[in-house]
Structure 1
Amino acid sequence: MTDHRASFDARITFGNGGDLAVHGFRVDLPGPDASDDEIAALFVASLGLLMTDGVELDNVEIFAEPHKGTRGGPSDRAAQAAPSAGGALVELTRPPGGGTCLVAPGGGLTGLPLARTAELPAVVVRVAGAGVREVGVGAVAAFDVRGRAVLLHTGAPGGGRLTPEAAAWLAGRGASLVGTDADGLDGPEGVAGSAALDVLLAAGVPVVERLAGLDRLPPTGAVFTAAPPRSEGAGRVPVRAFARVPEA
């Protein structure tokens, strides 16, 4: 099913005084026929605005685009339900030889709990098609990442380098795992020292590289698994990654 979003200009007035104007704001929609009132309600919910008195929309455009996880939107509501044993399984491993792998903290798998890699609620951070070369704090800050697998959908093997600052933000807020469909978190240049991979591993956060199929996952609500084999002495190992997507 095709996702839809809306772009619009808006002016909000508040019951306790003041107003707010935005231009080109975007929200996820439940469908292509959403009314202006529905879009206005999604806009207010997405920002968590209180004491809203009125919303005026202008230049509304509705178009097909994957959901980004607007707070209070259709994908967010689906994610509020507890993960279910039902739903379709989605393959997230690249074809044989593609190299999907897990990088374990501490240089080995011995101390990596299974709970850090299996049946994790997932959030998908989409930057694919946006021309973004770096994924910074602003791209991940809207998500509740505690106890979750944070999956970066960059859309390109060499795209979407995670900044060290964003890696520190994710680790500091309790992300269980970070994954990417790129060849690595630090981009083709392989930045060393304070690179994102180093930051996450130092904080005990495992990383999964070279994922596939993230475009088939909703922004929130899927359950992610990339459990490594039971072995010792290996810091980077092949995995079969997959996700269970809740039924609509």
Structure 2
Amino acid sequence: MIGLSIDIETSGLDILQSSIIEIGVVQWDFIGNKPLNMFSKLVRHGKNEQNFSSEIEKITGIANSDLNHFGYNLAEVLFEVKELIKYSDFLCGHNAILFDREILYRLFLNQINYRLECHWIDTMFDLETNDEFGSRKLRDLIKIFDIPSFLDHRAFFDALSVILLISKTGFEQCYKNSLSNLIRISIELEYENREQAKRKGFFWNKNLKCWEKIIRSHKKSGYMMSNLKEEIIYFP
């Protein structure tokens, strides 16, 4: 099975407006446990794009001048990625289904008229851990599984970290987990019971006034709480 790990750094968090400033990919043979292709590219600004904020530069270490001097044309980079997708069985990433996938789908379609319709393994939801209710942040998972730590928030290193996590925790189980629907479960609790939700990894949604968490549907049995609501947000 050939997987293509994709990570992007973006100009913001708005999936409808943000542009890609860096993309990193690692194509990996999970049966042979070896890399096949890998690259990292900065992406220069489009004609009508504004410089990204100093906050993004602080998080990633990427400067607007880096894109101007060393960036590649986005369409050309996407064509390269498309060629690797053709020879991959699935894509993988961290928090990719809800973020990277949405941005990539929009830009692949707009830039090169390509519909990115692939199966994804997402290490935020598909890794098996001893603490099912613990942190699912990439940096925390790397520490838990003793994966070598590289530069934070750089596309290639995050893409490689995803590959190493899947390999170390078991590709077969990750792939099996990824076949379930992704669901949002939510619950309304009295204020004094909030610690119950926190212990199970729920987060407070201030707009909907409820505690919520996103999980694979086959893991729902571990959250049998009264007044639990669920919504399917992604079909594999």
Q: State the TM-score, normalized to the length of structure 2.
A: 0.23
Q: Which has the higher contact order (CA 8 A, sep 6+)?
A: 1
Structure with more of its chain in strand, by fraction: 1
